[in-house]
Structure 1
Amino acid sequence: MLAISLLFILPFKVFADELPGQDNTLTGTVTDKDTQGPLPGATIYLPDLKIGAVADAQGNYTVKHLPQGRFLVEVRYIGHAAITEQIVIKGNTSRNFILSASVTEQNEVVVTGVNVATQLRQNPTPISIVRKDFLDRTVSSNLVDAIAQLPGVSQVSTGPAISKPFIRGLGYNRVVVVNDEVRQEGQQWGDEHGLEVDDYNVNKIEILKGPASLMYGSDALAGVVNIISDMPVPMGTIRGGIDANYQSNNGLFGYHANIAGNQNGFSWKLYGTRKMAHDYKNKYDDYVLNSKFRNTNYGAGIGLNKSWGYSRLSFSSYSLEPGLVEGERDENGKFIKPVNDNGNVEEVAANSDDFKSYHPLFPKQRIDHQKLVWDNSFYFANGSRVAVNLGYQVNKRREYENVLAPDDVALYFKLKTFNYGFKYFLADMDGWQTTVGINGMQQQNSNHGSEFLIPSYNLFDAGVFALTRKTFGKLTVAGGLRFDYRQLKSDALYLDGNEKPVPSPVTGGITRFGAFERDFSNVSGSVGLSYAASDKLTLKLNVARGFRAPNIAELSANGVHEGTIRYEYGNNNLKAEVSTQVDAGVELATEHITLGVNAFYNNINNYIYSRKLLGADGQDSIPVAENEDGYAAFQYQQGRAYLYGGEITIDIHPHPIHWLHFENSLSWVEARLANGNDSTKYLPTIPPLRWLSELRGDFRKNGKGVRNIYAKVQLDKFFDQKNVFSAYNTETVTGGYALLNAGVGAEFVNKNNRTLFALHVAANNITDEAYQNHLNRLKYAGENVVTGRTGVYGMGRNFSVKVSIPLEFK
């Protein structure tokens, strides 16, 4: 323990004081092109150094304690086109920036899937970017619910608290979620397992669509969701904020507070979040029993930026207690709940107090996730640098389902993960930017409950990679190779006649899981081109190969998981998935129109999917053991699959009314199994065609005491999904629907033009449409015998009010 503590403290002690003559600075001014006046509050940020500054009242800025070298600098100000520029830092460097007014985001910078911070238009792979202002304007109950509005992104959900990201029809372990340089590991294989990330503690999200295994290894077959929350405040400032949100449909209350400082390169941060909701309602089901949840998060971080680079240590704790919706009803169509009736379990109709309570009923989950991340970057005089990222996270996932013994844990997984990464960034060689590295994880998952879905196991994962890129005038070329190795060792589990774990087989007992060991390895690669045909037109092409090793549930599941509403069997003979994907894109940005067209074709060998099993009588196979509710059995199998489709986005902002935006996006995925028949030719869990249309007015310059007013109305149209995996009643057709949403907001300022608070008022599903999302697991809940409707419907009309109060101290 002492050795680990010294390892964390070493950079702070060794490099705490600068050596004479080593310090480098970047200074200058930020002004408006039209007025030639200063732009106070403009942000200057160096993404690779995680350091920045804010322009003062005269537009002046200073960034101290910089390493020597060439770095990408990003300058941003509301209502203006961002500037991104490569600047050579050596000694006292001066650079002035002149920003032009703009109604659209331009010159975005990305760090996902690339070796150094890069302009978005120079990156061959399709990436969507979300910033905090987008999250503030969006009505959502969790983080994935918010980003699911982006083209090509959807969600599998099991109630308002539990959502998983899908990218172009692929999800679960095919999407890697990264939070502050470390893979998020928390049982991603489960339908009812969401992300353990605080949605209030987010600065920026980058969503990469397509195989990204070069940087992230196995599991990034569909893409990467990179959540960036650890962005130090500018030097010489202490900043924070208080956020509050109320939503009417499920009585959601959300509170968040944070405070952070940065003095002479030493930075720190503290935050805390509390969120809770009772059951949501819709016009078909009324209140949906046990869709409530409670969420508590907190975290802290410290860091140091000096001319040698930076070192940052952060800790986060996430705790969620969601109810699990079963959807069972009585003969009158009323939701029922289990109660303790003198030592016996009785099913009774739920009452209004049950629906309005903020404490989940049985069955329910308790998820606790703690994470410690140490992120370092050290620079050398020759222009090269080394990045070292270490992370340790513990995920405890417990399910409670016995009303007679409320403290007894049914399923209980304890997952410990050690993440490591080492990257060496070579010095610039004739414009080539090259990085080599190794990363991976050591993982241990153990069972501690009385029920068992997957066995305990140990996993070791390692990958070596090399990435390079260069810009030749208008053409940028990027690519690389990676080799991955993964070993998974599963433990045996024996049960006695009372279904209690025993160390070895016994007479009358059963072998629930047999011990096994599997090794997986593969070579991945990609090559891409981005061509700036003009200042307005960019053409992109990328070809990538990725792979995904089967997860523990796919290999060995044997049991019921309450949230999935099914009994799952694994398949120990599964092979690794191998994907080859081609992406092509066209981006056009003119004074009146911003247009993006992206198309893809993805061929996946050994695609893993789950299908329903049939018994000897041709009906559903219903296992008896640990299956009191009579769930049908599903098993994992493989086949060759191919997916194709794309996204089209267009933003019309006509001259001279640049404040008006008419944004439209169309997302489409077609996914098929090779050699499938009529009922098996389509892949399961594929989102339908979706059209999202928004008419918005952005008013940057407003009256006294208010600024940045916006108003929007939105139509979110989901079309019928008839292309389903209908064999064995695995999946059913879902009808289309349209949701009408609207919102308004503004910032309120004092006489010095300083923001006092921001207010956002919105309404979702204004017409109170009754709908079922094709990827919502509650669609397959039980039948209401009174109405004949199967499953549970989505949230009805919902009003939301958000208030954000910024804090700043000298």
Structure 2
Amino acid sequence: MRYDNRHIRWNDFYVGPNSKNGFEQHVKLPDTAGAHLQFPAFKHVYQGVSGSLGITYNISERLLFKTNIARGYRAPNITEIGSNGLDPGAHIVYLGNRSFNPEFSLQEDLGFIAYLKDVDLIAELFNNHINNYIYQAKLTDANGNPVVIVPGNSTYQYQQSSARLYGAEFTLNVHPQNVKWLAFNNSLAYVTGINGNKQLIDESNGAAKYLPFIPPLHIRSEFKASFQKAYGAFSKIYFKAEMDAYTTQNRFYALDNTETATPCYALFNIGAGTTIKNKSNKPVCELFLQVDNLFDKAYQSNLNRLKYFEYYQSSPNRHLGIYNIGRNISFKAVFPF
């Protein structure tokens, strides 16, 4: 069991123009000439009780079953309460909500774990009901038109609603005892977020059914070869190849074009590493090489808000928004001292 008590308070915050660079800056009292009140004073106390009760049953030395029920609590943070301004990098004006209440959740989950000789199997299911769930959505006026506070920029405001999150995670790790240098690790994760505001869902003809910025089905696989035998000065040599695959996300918060559908994509990564030792068998340095997005796949994650950041009314290359990072090569050397 746990009890939380959080006090949030700030004073009036005035903003005025800087004559030297044209940008706005904090203006302190009493010199507020030409300034405006950007963040009015705020004071509130949030409190809540949370806790969990779980049971793990050993069916055998290698088989486990577990279940858990938990009540969660989270107080709104200062961004969700007090935001009032433009993020120039994202071209979004963010607005907080000073009337927010704390989030409370009730989650149930089940898990089955098998640690076998050559394989690890893990299956977990969860169901989570949340009251006062906080999320972001585009702000519209009474006629359904997007609110524009700063021309050329979208306006998002933090919203609050009941919600339900449910899904599953599966893990399959293969580590054959006869081939100890080889490991084949796999995972699958799925989650769906349902908006609990039934009136909004009905009024929007289902466009507000799903919660925003929920990841689609994610599949990850990794082959890793680790060699414990030393080859001259080189020891702990490993090579790995990874695949990260995301399916199409058609379950999104479509109201007011807050989100759009996101196509599926798969990324391939490779890496290698080793430890270099001197003649006294002491490590001199560790070397790591990693190549992410090996095939330079052009993709947009549905969690990437820059997907909706576009200067052009009609894109010249038929690709709207900013894409995620392409091929990325990194090298790291660690020297103990």
TM-score under structure 2 normalisation? 0.86
Equivalent residue in structure 1 for 2:5, among 458, 475, 485: 485
Encode CA deviations 1:37-67: one digit per residue, 9 max, x unaligned: xxxxxxxxxxxxxxxxxxxxxxxxxxxxxxx
Q: Contact between 2:147 and 2:154, CA under 8 Å: does it hold in 1?
A: yes
Query: In the alignment, residue 10 of structure 2 is paired with which amino acid?
Result: S
| 1:783–1:789 CA contact under 8 A, matched in 2 | no
1:747-792: per-residue Cα shift (whole Å, max 9, x none)? 2334443333332223221111101112122212114531132211
- The residue number in structure 2 matching 1:639 is 161
2:72 match: secondary structure: strand
The answer on 1:764 being equivalent to 2:286 is no
TM-superposed CA distance for 1:650, in Å, is 1.0
Deviation at 1:710, TM superposition (A): 1.5
Taking a change above 3 Å as real, the CA distance of residues 484 and 758 of structure 1, as seen in their structure-2 partners, is closer
- Separation of aligned partners in 1, 2:141 and 2:115: 58
In the TM superposition, 1:120-135 aligns within 5 A as none
Within the candidate set 123, 132, 136, 1:597 is matched to 123
What one-letter code is carried by the residue in structure 1 that aligns with 2:260?
T
Residue from 44, 58, 69 that aligns with 1:543: 69
Structure-2 separation of matches of 1:504 and 1:747: 61
Question: In the TM superposition, what whole-angstrom CA distance separates every residue of 1:335-367 from its partner, at most 9, and x where no partner exists?
Answer: xxxxxxxxxxxxxxxxxxxxxxxxxxxxxxxxx
Aligned counterparts of 2:32 and 2:231: Cα–Cα separation in 1: 80
In structure 2, the partner of 1:286 is none
Assess, with a 3 A threshold, how the Cα gap between structure 1 residues 687 and 533 changes in structure 2: closer, same or farther.
same
Partner letter of residue 682 of structure 1?
Y
The alignment partner of 2:147 has SS state of coil
Q: 1:505 to 1:673 in 2, by over 3 A?
A: farther
Percent identity, aligned pairs only?
38
Question: Secondary structure in 2 aligned to 1:760?
Answer: strand
CA spacing shift, 1:788–1:523, aligned 2, 3 Å: same
Structure-2 change in CA distance of 1:496 and 1:582 (3 Å): same
Counterpart of 1:648, as a letter, is: F
In 2, the alpha carbon distance for the partners of 1:787 and 1:517 equals 49
Deviation by residue 1:287-333 (Cα, 9 ceiling, x = unmatched):
xxxxxxxxxxxxxxxxxxxxxxxxxxxxxxxxxxxxxxxxxxxxxxx
Partner of 1:799: 329
Does residue 1:737 correspond to 2:265, yes or no?
yes
Distance 1:700 1:792 in 2: 43
**Alignment partners' CA distance in 2, 1:497 and 1:805:** 48
The equivalent of 1:610 in structure 2 is 136
Q: 1:509 to 1:694 in 2, by over 3 A?
A: closer
User: Could you say what the CA RMSD is over the residues aligned between the two structures, in angstroms?
Assistant: 2.6
Q: How do residues 109-258 of structure 1 correspond to structure 2 at under 5 angstroms? A: none
CA distance in 2 between partners of 1:530 and 1:680 (Å): 38
Q: Give the deviation of 1:666 after TM superposition.
A: 0.6
Task: Find out whether 1:567 has 2:93 as its counterpart.
Answer: yes
Question: Does structure 1 conserve the Cα–Cα contact (< 8 Å) formed by 2:229 and 2:235?
Answer: yes
* 1:112-154 deviation digits (Å, cap 9, x = unpaired): xxxxxxxxxxxxxxxxxxxxxxxxxxxxxxxxxxxxxxxxxxx
Distance 1:526 1:501 in 2: 47
Call closer, same or farther: CA 1:488–1:703 in 2, change over 3 Å.
Answer: closer
Three-state SS of the structure 2 residue aligned to 1:779 is helix
Verify the 8 A CA contact 1:714 1:742 in the aligned structure 2: yes
Q: Give 1:578 deviation, angstroms.
A: 0.4
Letter in 1 for 2:335: I
Q: CA deviation at 1:592?
A: 0.6
**What is the alpha-carbon distance in structure 1 between the residues aligned to residue 322 and residue 81 of structure 2?**
30
CA 1:507–1:792 in 2, change beyond 3 Å: closer, same or farther?
Answer: closer
Mapped to 1, the partners of 2:222 and 2:83 lie a distance apart of 43
SS at match of 2:302: coil
Compared CA separation, residues 521 and 618, structure 1 to 2 (3 A):
closer
Query: 2:21 corresponds to which residue?
Result: none
2:336 aligned counterpart, secondary structure: strand
AA aligned opposite 1:486: R
Q: Would the alpha carbon gap of residues 714 and 690 (structure 1) be closer, same or farther in structure 2, given more than 3 Å must change?
A: same
Aligned residue identity for 2:60: S
Contact persistence 1:505–1:511 (CA under 8 A)? no
Summarize the Cα distance change of 1:794–1:504 in structure 2 as closer, same or farther, 3 Å threshold.
same
Aligned to 1:710: 238
Matches of 1:701 and 1:511, distance apart in 2 = 67
8 A Cα contact 1:721 1:736, kept in partner: yes
TM-score under structure 1 length normalisation? 0.38
Tell me if the contact between 2:90 and 2:309 (Cα under 8 Å) persists in the aligned partners. Answer: no
The alpha-carbon distance between structure 1 residues 748 and 551, as it changes in their structure 2 partners (threshold 3 A), is: closer
Q: Which of 575, 578, 582 lines up with 2:108 in the alignment?
A: 582
- Paired position in structure 1 for 2:220: 692
1:793 counterpart letter in structure 2: Y
Displacement of 1:663 after TM fit? Answer: 1.0
Alpha-carbon shift at residue 507 of structure 1 (Å): 10
Query: Does the C-alpha gap of structure 1 residues 504 and 580 become closer, same or farther in structure 2, counting only changes over 3 Å?
Result: farther
User: 1: CA distance between counterparts of 2:16 and 2:177?
Assistant: 76
Q: Which runs of 5+ in 1 are unaligned?
A: 1-480
Map Cα deviations across residues 552-611 of structure 1 (whole Å, 9 max, x no partner).
232232221223421122222211110111222222212210122222111110111121
Judge conservation of contact 2:27–2:35 (CA < 8 Å) in 1.
no
Q: Distance in 2 between matches of 1:669 and 1:578?
A: 19
